[in-house]
Amino acid sequence: MLNISGTQRVKVWDIDKRDKYALVRMSSSRKEKQSGDYKNSTWSFVRFVGNAFSKIDTLSVEDNIVLKGAGISLEPYMDKDNNKQYPKNPQIVVFNWEQFVYENDGVAQGDAPPAVASSADEDLPF
């Protein structure tokens, strides 16, 4: 599993709360250095578990968050007939997150110190 530490900022677009986890749809963007355009990525069916799930009721659509612990995996599993199967898509799991808001100067303000705000991030599209 590839681990993601506390610098990935995302915007939440949908929250589907289940019994022990939530499925969240979110997006991130990065500025392309050559053209200056933003490239957006949509993350669908991201599973929030543990601390991330315990705070899910404080999360709303269009909130901006910083992932404080997440992983991406594409690991084989055993099906019901005990045959090794490979997932069609990577699985993304979020273990913790913190909310933040952008002030007018583009600096993140939130529960913890800003998450690597820089001049390159001033014109984020979300």
Q: What CATH number is attached to the domain comprising 17?
A: 2.40.50
Determine, yes or no, domain membership for 122.
no
Determine, yes or no, domain membership for 125.
no
Determine, yes or no, domain membership for 6.
yes
Q: Longest Cα pair distance anywhere in the chain, in angstroms?
A: 57
Give the burial string for 102-117 (b: 16+ CB within 10 Å, else e).
beeeeebeeeeeebeb
Determine, yes or no, domain membership for 119.
no
Per residue in 87-106, pLDDT (tens digit) is 888 899 999 999 987 765 55
- Binned at pLDDT 50, 70 and 90, residue 114 comes out as very low
Determine, yes or no, domain membership for 123.
no
Domain count, the chain: 1
pLDDT at 26: 95
When mean pLDDT is compared across 21-30, 60-69, 95-104, the lowest value belongs to 95-104
The bridge status of strand 8-17 relative to strand 22-31 is antiparallel
Range of the domain at 107: 2-112
CA distance 100 to 63: 8
Mean pLDDT of the chain: 83
pTM of the model: 0.71
Determine, yes or no, domain membership for 32.
yes
